[in-house]
Structure 1
Amino acid sequence: MEIHEREPTRAWVLHPDLKSDQHRRMADYALEEAVALAAALPDLEVVGAESVRLQRPHPGLLFGTGKIAELKQRIQEAEVDLVLIDGPVTPVQQRNLEKEWDVKLLDRTGLILEIFSDRARTREGVLQVEMAALKYQRTRLVRAWTHLERQRGGLGFVGGPGETQIEADRRAIDEQLVRLRRQLDKVVRTRELHRAARAKVPFPVVALVGYTNAGKSTLFNRLTGAEVMAKDMLFATLDPTMRRVELPEGGGEVILSDTVGFISDLPTELVASFRATLEEVLSANLILHVRDISHPETEGQCANVLEIMDSLGVNRDTPVLEVWNKIDLLPEEDRSALQQRAARDENIFAISAVTGEGIPDLMQEVASKLASETHESQVTLTFAEGRKRAWLFEQDLVEAETQTETGFDLTVRWTARQEKRFRDL
């Protein structure tokens, strides 16, 4: 029997360039990022992309009627199946534009949800994405819900079977949400057990954060020897990966955590749903903020990451090192100037995760920062607390010990995290 490969969905990307938006990114780079987002979704072929200047969004159609007619002609000529709009689109605008252009339409939130669904690997990640998608879909009941009958990966926004009745959709969404919440509760309980087991390991946690495609996974792979998916693709990593890393010159071991890349205009419901997935960042002893320093919008990307970290509730007392990655992509003159700038700030390191340049200095500072977190304490234990005493020696925390009539007086050097774990024993 002859098997035919499925034809890719032909997509057209539109970036609404709002004149009134005081914080808008440069349109060219915004469009470039939107195209990269689309390229991150399998079975999608971007056949056209453009920015559309807008004085203000039209409430019913987003664009003016003249622009809609102009775009319709281009969309038809390119035989487009799907239009991706890099920004928010109301349910009414979506319905009207789909009717005008006779294609499916997806806004930025819908596209990001599709990508997250395709990339999520852990059970919790999958459930969180599905719940976020359901909440998103509930606000768009002018369209149907195809997720329950999907025939492909993803959430069914891009392809799949025909639409069902809105009432059936509403009922299906409510039932699905209840079911997913129950499943998520079980997964979270299991995760808490794993976290409790991890808490017994006294190694500090170093979390990699940064804008998507900044090179976090490439750096993670170089430091750990792991083979985390590291592609030149937005959202290549969605679920956190954790590995032990030996620090230089007797600095001990740390747990390195690679996390999902942040992105501007990330849907707030998605940030909330991924809060548990990013918990390693919330409890980290040290954060490495990885930046693509070769990107023209690196400052804007940096601001986006800091804003999201703030909204996640990351402790402002947690030390942060800025890692200016991809210096190998810069011209020699620019790279030299950048390295000199970084050298003047003890919290900034210019590196290349691909070539390894600058990484030894970075890891030295990681070891130094974590060492400075330790403090000395006096601990008194009775003879009956032999288990606690053994734990202190196993972790190599004891600096001095004196036996008394009732037990032991110990001088220990440890981090606040290690002290808490000891108290919980």
Structure 2
Amino acid sequence: MKHVAPVWSAESGNCDLCHPAIDMSHVQGSLRWEMKVSDPRVGANAAYKGLWKGATGDMAPSDNYGQCTNVACHTDGKGQPPRLNATWGSSTFNADCAGCHGGNADSAAPIVSDMHGQHINQLSVNGVNFGCAECHAQTVTADRTIGTPGNHLNQLVNYSGARAGKNKAACNVAYCHSDGKGGAGMAVNWAGGTPIGNCVGCHGSAIPADFASVYGEPNYASTGEGQTRANSHKKHVAGGSGSCVYCHTGTVTGTGTLTGAAHLDKTIQVAPGGGESFAYPGGKTCSTISCHGSGSPNAVWGATFATECTGCHGGNAAIAPSDIKTGKHAQHVNNAGVNGTNFGCAECHAQTVSGDRTISNSTLHPNKLVNYSGAGAGKNAASCNTAYCHTDGKGGSGIAVNWATGPAIDNCTGCHGAAIPAASPVSTVSLTIRVPAVGSILPTAT
């Protein structure tokens, strides 16, 4: 039944593929076989019980069934022996793809030839395991069901489907291996090439590259604000300053694992995650961005945006009028007339920045903490007068100030002259000196 009216072939009824042509002598009490080796569907080396032609010497059915070997329709699909040699009458031979060349990840024997393994059983990289129909839609449906029998044994791969590229020798031009914006990813082909085990292989392999991708962030050169290939990933991820999940929580987790089929649905999902929040109404623009600070302007993807502190919250006095204004920053970064020097960002945020406006710790910078530490930093932002900068110079506290409120200090008295408690003023003593008159005799010491 599997051979005469198969669901996997349009060649039903071709008895002469395995038996000699019927003549008047066929009823002789012996089951004969004669492989039609001239037919490419059978193959020149096809054999049953090791012979291309022979007889059982007994009538069917028989308890002495044998195996078919080197039969073209039972190869692995690449001209090599099948996964299992087919034994006539066997109930253990897989009726679906797994019997000959293997099936998808859910089958009894997943296919392993060429690069199949990297596609059908690679959930951690692709976000989904591909099925047979993804690339062989002309032949199969529902992954392991022959949908078009005529295509199954035509000795062609019939490579076509939702995930299929156009050239198996250059798979990186297919969407699945692109940078996600129409550009090619890492050079790969079906027979060889470097295995792709992370996001860098596709998104982070632009040719030419604008920068070295760290986590798989797209690294093609930005074509500018509002353009199809606008790109601001370098500012967000390169060097470890962020994580994909902050903006793509629908497709990736905080550990970098892809979350599902949305990864390859040809749609860019922009949604906050990882504790961040923002509004993305479209137009490649984000607003109310938590990681840019509540006072930051809307950010346009691909636009020219300050690469240092000024883009979000301002910097030191060297970049006035963009120096930071929140809290008491202005009195510190732009007050050389009182302090004798303008403080830089690193004075109080040494854990995060160096050189005043250079991010030196890309982990601490977006962690939503002030990371308040440095040569000019006090220990308590609510009572800055205990910090050295606001003392009387001898270890005592200066005027009571804190970061949110308190009087402005615009002269030396605010620190040196504001001891708590202050010493009592010195009393004035009046002395009267009586000078003897001229000619009088001074007392003689005895």
TM-score (norm 2): 0.23
Normalized per residue, the structure richer in strand is 1
Larger Rg: 2
Structure with more contact order per residue of length (Cα contacts < 8 Å, sep ≥ 6): 1
* Length-normalised TM-score, structure 1: 0.24
